[in-house]
Amino acid sequence: MEVSLHRKFPEIRDNGRSFYGGAQEWSTHGYVRGYGCGVIACANVLMHTVDRTSATPSKDEYIKYSRHLRKFYLPVIPKFGMNGIFMALGVDLYFLRHRLPFYAYWGCRRKNIFKHMERMLKDDIPVVLSAGPNWPNLWGKKVLNMYEKDGDRLVRPVGMRAHYVTATALDDEYITVSSWGRKYYIKRSDFMDYARKCSNFLFSSIMVIKPVKRRGT
């Protein structure tokens, strides 16, 4: 059974075109275009969850919003990007400064990844998911495939590693994600195999967000 967000995930509009979430390629800074996927994944989450003014914000509005997050909460390090722990700290600081009733942390036990994802989606919170770098060979070239769908078929695989995406739905077989402003599908089994065999479950994991009232539960 599929679990998905209750409200429509942000559909970014630009001159008659629509995008499924944001894209790092929209930045005017080269280092953000190359390493800013974490900022975009968090911008998708925060815009949907706590800063929602429209289900169809403009591209210019999205760029301004993600730039603000990068400047004050989610700095991108050139040629490195951002690790999950610092990402969660930045999001947690955003919640604190805006007195929002949530808190965030990075990672969980491997057996609980999909459990946390399901709970967050039921709470209408998108999930930042990472396919981390290869481990122990950080310069390895093994990738996790994302796919587009053509009917019931998975087509046009796109490989990713050291990359953050935003999960918007989950069923028994697939994770639906936003990446580069498009909708893709990742096989749950592929994600677990990649994390176990090619990366690890610290790098390849999720950012968990919970309501403050659930702290300690």
The CATH code of the domain that includes 131 is 3.90.70.10
Radius of gyration in angstroms for the set of CA atoms belonging to the chain, rounded to a whole number: 16
**Where does residue 209 fall: left (phi above 0), alpha (psi -120 to 50 degrees), or beta otherwise?**
beta
Q: Which two tokens stand for residue 67?
A: 């730039």
Which tens digits make up the pLDDT trace of 67-84?
999 999 999 999 899 999
* 3-state SS string for 46-87: HHHHCCCCCCCCEHHHHHHHHHHHHHHCCCCECCCECCHHHH
Number of helices (H), then strands (E), in the chain: 6, 11
Looking at residue 152, its pLDDT comes to 82
Cα-Cα-Cα-Cα dihedral sign, residues 162, 165, 169, 174:
negative
Mean pLDDT by 10 residues, the chain (217 residues): 94 96 96 96 97 90 97 95 97 97 97 98 98 95 95 90 98 97 97 98 97 63
Per-residue model confidence (pLDDT) at position 216: 47
Cβ(160)–Cβ(146) below 8 Å:
yes
State the DSSP code for 21: S
pLDDT for the residue 217: 45
In this prediction the pTM is 0.94
Q: What integer pLDDT is reported at residue 207 of this predicted model?
A: 98
Q: What pLDDT is attached to residue 215?
A: 44
Q: Structural domain tally of the chain? A: 1
SS3 of 133, please? coil
Is 126 in contact with 107 (CB distance < 8 Å)? Answer: no
- Structural domain containing residue 85: 3-214
**CA-based end-to-end distance of the chain:** 26
CA–CA separation, 185 vs 154, rounded Å? 8
Q: Which pLDDT score, from 0 to 100, does residue 54 have? A: 83
How far, in Å, CA of 138 to CA of 141, rounded?
9
